């Protein structure tokens, strides 16, 4: 996202675009990553309800993963999942695993 100058932005930090949180990526804040075990997940949507950042990705009524560009790694989904289907690993280790 290109940052604007002080002459180009609305005074007082007001936000007039609804739903612009999506443009602000907060995934880099994360110290721990939640990983869903799809074999255990029953798609009950409890994690989707609890996630404070809307980062549980859903398609056709099924949980399909976590939006890592926005997930801050708070771990609420891990705590709330009734099936213990979500685990939590250190972001650094998760990154190594990914690469």
The answer to whether 44 and 82 have CB atoms below 8 angstroms apart is yes
Token pair recorded at residue 76: 């609420």
For position 2 contacting other proteins by CB under 8 A, the verdict is: no
For position 11 contacting other proteins by CB under 8 A, the verdict is: yes
For position 98 contacting other proteins by CB under 8 A, the verdict is: no
Q: 28: which residues sit within 8 A by CB, 6+ positions away?
A: none
With CB under 8 A as the contact rule, the residue among 9, 45, 64, 93 that binds other proteins is 9
Binding site for other proteins (CB under 8 A): 3-6, 9, 11-16, 18
């Amino acid at each position: 996202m290109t940052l604007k100058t002080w002459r180009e932005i609305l005074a007082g930090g007001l936000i007039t675009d609804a739903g612009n949180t999506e443009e602000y990526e907060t995934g880099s804040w994360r110290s721990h990553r939640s990983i869903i075990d799809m074999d255990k997940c029953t798609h009950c949507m409890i994690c989707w309800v609890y996630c404070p950042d809307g980062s549980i990705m859903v398609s056709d009524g099924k949980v399909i993963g976590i939006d890592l560009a926005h997930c801050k790694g708070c771990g609420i989904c891990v705590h709330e999942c009734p099936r213990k289907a979500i685990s939590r690993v250190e972001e650094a280790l998760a990154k190594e695993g990914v690469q």
